[in-house]
């Protein structure tokens, strides 16, 4: 695994990195395609990933997942 499964923070940080990479990939794909509908699809996917990123950041900020 690419994160410590016993550590929620590690798992969330891994998920955050994945979302950031997806945003980048979809944004770059949108820039590189010529077909309008395909470009819009990639832009929409990038926007969805931004929502996921914000949610993960919110979870990281809340600290409710920590034991103790």
Q: What is the DSSP string of the chain?
A: --S-TT-HHHHHHHHHHHHHHHHHHHHHHHHH---HHHHHHHHHHHHHHHHHHHHHHHHHHH-TTS--
The per-residue pLDDT for range 27-66, each reduced to its tens digit, is 999 999 999 999 999 999 999 999 999 999 999 998 766 6
Give the predicted TM-score (pTM) of the model. 0.87
pLDDT number for residue 55:
97
pLDDT number for residue 14:
96
Higher pLDDT, 5 or 66: 5
pLDDT number for residue 66:
62
CA 64 to chain centre: 20
The answer to whether residue 11 scores a pLDDT higher than 80 is yes
């Amino acid at each position: 695994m690419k994160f410590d499964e016993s550590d929620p923070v590690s798992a969330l940080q891994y998920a955050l990195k994945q979302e950031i990479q997806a945003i980048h990939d979809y944004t770059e794909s949108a820039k590189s395609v010529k077909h309008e509908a395909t470009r819009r699809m990639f832009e929409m996917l990038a926007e969805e990933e931004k929502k996921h990123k914000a949610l993960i950041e919110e979870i990281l900020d809340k600290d409710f997942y920590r034991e103790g």
